[in-house]
Structure 1
Amino acid sequence: MSTNSKLIRGYEVVIGLENHVQLSTQSKIFSGSSTAFGAEPNTQASPVDLALPGTLPVLNRGAVERAIRFGLSVGAKIAPLSIFARKNYFYPDLPKGYQISQYEIPVVQGGKLEFFVGDKKHTVNLTRAHLEEDAGKSLHEDYHGLTGIDLNRAGTPLLEIVSEPDMRSGAEAAEYAKTLHALVMWLGICDGNMQEGSFRCDVNVSVRKPGAPYGTRREIKNLNSFRYILQAVDYEVNWQIDEIEDGRQVQQATILFNPDTGETRAMRSKEDAADYRYFPDPDLPPLVIAPEWVERVRGEMPELPALMAERFQRDYGLPAYDAAMMTQSVALSGFFETAAKACGQPKLVANWLMGEVSRRLNAEEKTIADSPVDAATLAALISRISDGTISNNGAKQVFEALWSGSGEVDSLIDSLGLKQMSDTGELERILDEVLAANPKSVEEFRAGKEKAFNALVGQAMKATKGKANPSAVNEVLKKKLGA
């Protein structure tokens, strides 16, 4: 059952997300160790990462600049002074026995993110985004029943982005996550690789009767697929409603989603802030960010997706939804703008990118950067539609050939015999024959039956084997019928 509607079985769904974004620095947040993925276990863990006695953390300036860049992109406040804290808990892959994070005063405060679900615009407010270090990783495979510890990830810089509980369906949560994922990649602060753990989603879910206080939330940890977000929320919402309807209380917990079964299961009881015994880290001074630093980062930022979407509406006449879709990535926006300028048909370009191009890319799990049909070629194809050389159906045949690497637009139109008949003299001769062969339809049209006109158009297209330009057929036929 999908959670796209506002109420599920009479309950309102309340969702907030916490996203751990691995920042794109070459070294860790408090040491000079490499952050490169895929190294042999424990080959990228320095004495600082291992918390050996006498070592001290030194903050990575690049991580701070990436946090500032994100904050500016969502209209947040950049704290002039923020504090690093120790978050105390004990896992085998946490060498210090605590994680360096931010608690009371985060570097990024507030902000909002806007996105579409279908053609409806949504806004989610952000609570905060704070800098922290990642933990290591416990490895349970191929150890003959034992667990190995890899500390390569320990100290990797993260920006944890926390939303307000503003989402009301799994579809909204998935689209929010997609939009955030696209934004951090657009800004260049994260590579977005979900399989490598660069972008991780924790989803807090609760249910309540409309108007009632918030229900007890359960946190679904480490979802690394937008499809899994939707599936996990769907299952969890119905599970919580079943618990309540059966007279049981939902217990606060951290839970995991199993994509093989489509079910969630409890991992441990959910900790509260007091359980972590936060206190300011004595090894790190307060982080001071001067206004000049913020303005320098602002001056180096790319045109933001929301501003570019506004420009696409203004300069190219795109609807708001189309403009939002064309600014999903830097590569897509560049492709659109190149093609739109080349053919002068921005709306048609957007339609093709959201339609045929997107369909083929999704089927082959490719991005726009991998498209076999480049912007100039798509523009040439659209130009042949707009000047009446080929029909939309004919253009789709040419596109399929282009996708497989066969030839160029004009030669394919000729070789496939797809050029539309636009010669008025030839059309008039064919239409005279069509009218003579279908006197009943002519009589019905003159008697006021509009469907008869469509029947005559169909006969004309049949007579020309689909090669007649439909608009030309309509024009000439109306003239001959005195319409």
Structure 2
Amino acid sequence: MTESSIKLINGYEVVIGFETHTQLAANSKIFSRASTAFGAEPNTQACAVDLALPGTLPVMNKKAVECAIKLGLALGSTIAPVSIFARKNYFYPDLPKGYQISQFEIPVVQGGEVSFFVGDRKKTVRLVRAHLEEDAGKSVHDEFIGQSGIDLNRAGTPLLEIVTEPDMGSSEEAVAYAKELHKIVTWIGICDGNMQEGSFRCDANVSVRKPGQPLGTRREIKNLNSFKNMQVAIDYEIRWQIEEIEDGRAIQQATVLFNPDSGETRAMRTKEDAADYRYFPDPDLPPLVVADSWVQAVKADMPELPRQRADRFVADYGLPEYDATTLTQSQAMADYFEAAAQASSQPKLASNWVMGEISRRLNLEEIGMDQVKVSAAQLGTLIARIHGNVISNNSAKQVFEALWTGEGADVDAVIDAKDLKQSNDTGALEAIIDEVIAANPGNVEQYKAGKDKAFNALVGQVMKASKGKANPGQVNELLKAKLA
């Protein structure tokens, strides 16, 4: 952790590491052919292998390995030419075998880093590893009848667990990291990122210490399934640990759950260490061998990564770093911007509209870029008409509204139908300006006395008199000439 990133809370330094379970975009489970589709009736997608029936043997899913390779390439990690699967032993009702197949000593993805911005400060978090493993089933509790059941549809679902070094020093950094990782795994197509369905689940390891002291005892907040809850949970846990220490009580290593209704964390069980799981190599699975030719084949099929695309937006379109980073929050947004920029030949204006009006409408209607109601081609044409002084910015918003609501589909047709074209008739505009000057002697005197607001008031009167059709730039130029 760099000194510049250290944030003290009541004299304590916060230390946060992350473990993220990413469900891989494979149609079948990691060691069987059972479906991974979400939402099926309980226990209808659990085959003999998932149920651990005697005599069944696991078979590795090639697609899951390719997803791991993609992540390693995206994060600058080392992809192990040979990795080993292990049995992680523990008893829980939704774990039919009594152990989970995972990777321990030699994971498939090793090292790497994730860089992102917290405000205007760049932060880099180091990765320890990313390992392949199977998911467990799910315990279903019915409080009404006082019974619990087991749904094994998720048992065997392919996961990639991504583990960081304890490099984050605040909930803001933790959330920014999680958002960046979420963006990357969805961008490269290895995960759908649906947090509500459990496709992207984060565990935060949180501890506090006095500056210069050894690392404190960590508590792991399990299964944080929204960025909002993540920040609230981490902030609560930080406060709780500091209060415990200040009251003279020692922190006990534990796994805790976050209650979104109360905004509090509570201990679920004492936290196990690696030795408690009695890891040993799985005798039913041979070592996973990843040849360099396989890595190169996956690399050739990789998309342009978010950071690479942001850098290209800066270089090719002259965008500020902030714009480029914002526009690459998703591949859909980046594609949309680029198409609008090329259609209009005005990349900065396109950036402003995508980050402004487009994003505002998406947020207002709670929809994604896949449901945007104005095409990139339509927006490009609209921006071109603004740049060409065909319409004003205010008029452009009226055109945009018509396009968004489906009132019209063709930009120029909407402009004509609503009579929104700017007037560039200098003679007619001068006549309006003369009338406004004559009708507003007070504002004229104030402007000549050095008050800029008075000039803006006169411009507003001219625009009103022209019914918004006057070219604002032309209005400013002619008005200043007449008041000189």
Asked if 1:228 corresponds to 2:246, the answer is no
Q: How does 1:72-151 map to 2 (within 5 A)?
A: 72-141=73-142, 144-151=145-152
Query: Which residue identity does 1:464 align to in structure 2?
Result: S
Q: Which moved more, 1:178-187 or 1:393-402?
A: 393-402
Q: How does 1:60-79 map to 2 (within 5 A)?
A: 60-79=61-80
**Cα shift readout 1:37-90 (whole Å, capped 9, x = no counterpart):** 222222222222222222221211111111001100111110111111111110
Q: Which moved more, 1:155-164 or 1:166-175?
A: 166-175
Distance 1:104 1:419, change over 3 A: same
Structure 2: runs of 5 or more not aligned: none
SS in 2 for 1:48: coil
Q: What residue is the counterpart of 2:325 in the other structure?
A: 324
Q: Percent sequence identity over matched residues? A: 70
**Cα offset, 1:13, TM superposition:** 2.1
Q: Give the TM-score, by structure 2 length.
A: 0.93
Q: What residue is the counterpart of 1:467 in the other structure?
A: 469
Q: How does 1:311-460 map to 2 (within 5 A)?
A: 311-408=312-409, 409-439=411-441, 441-446=443-448, 448-460=450-462
Aligned partners of 2:242, 2:180: CA distance in 1, in Å? Answer: 29
**Cα shift readout 1:118-152 (whole Å, capped 9, x = no counterpart):** 34332222111000011111111278222111112
| 1:79–1:108 contact (8 Å) kept in structure 2 | yes
Q: What residue is the counterpart of 2:259 in the other structure?
A: 258
Distance 1:94 1:447, change over 3 A: closer
Q: Which moved more, 1:157-166 or 1:432-441?
A: 432-441
Aligned partners of 1:321, 1:24: CA distance in 2, in Å? Answer: 31
Q: What residue is the counterpart of 2:56 in the other structure?
A: 55
Aligned partners of 2:175, 2:256: CA distance in 1, in Å? Answer: 18
Aligned partners of 1:114, 1:13: CA distance in 2, in Å? Answer: 19
Aligned partners of 1:411, 1:6: CA distance in 2, in Å? Answer: 56
Aligned partners of 1:141, 1:397: CA distance in 2, in Å? Answer: 53
Q: What residue is the counterpart of 1:302 in the other structure?
A: 303
Q: Which moved more, 1:261-270 or 1:403-412?
A: 403-412
SS in 1 for 2:142: coil
Distance 1:428 1:18, change over 3 A: same
| 2:94–2:150 contact (8 Å) kept in structure 1 | yes
Aligned partners of 2:144, 2:461: CA distance in 1, in Å? Answer: 73
Q: What residue is the counterpart of 1:29 in the other structure?
A: 30
Q: How does 1:2-21 map to 2 (within 5 A)?
A: 6-21=7-22
Aligned partners of 1:396, 1:117: CA distance in 2, in Å? Answer: 32
**Cα offset, 1:442, TM superposition:** 4.2
**Cα offset, 1:447, TM superposition:** 5.2
Count how many residue pairs are aligned between Structure 1 and Structure 2. Answer: 479
SS in 2 for 1:47: coil
Q: What residue is the counterpart of 1:480 in the other structure?
A: 482
**Cα shift readout 1:387-413 (whole Å, capped 9, x = no counterpart):** 223332332233233222111333433
| 1:116–1:321 contact (8 Å) kept in structure 2 | no
Q: What residue is the counterpart of 1:191 in the other structure?
A: 192
Aligned partners of 2:83, 2:111: CA distance in 1, in Å? Answer: 14
| 2:207–2:216 contact (8 Å) kept in structure 1 | yes
Distance 1:55 1:444, change over 3 A: closer
**Cα shift readout 1:172-220 (whole Å, capped 9, x = no counterpart):** 2222212211211111111222222111111111222333322221111
Structure 1: runs of 5 or more not aligned: none
Q: Kindly report the root-mean-square deviation, in angstroms, between the aligned alpha carbons of the 2 structures.
A: 2.1
| 2:395–2:468 contact (8 Å) kept in structure 1 | no
Aligned partners of 2:425, 2:213: CA distance in 1, in Å? Answer: 70
| 1:115–1:176 contact (8 Å) kept in structure 2 | yes
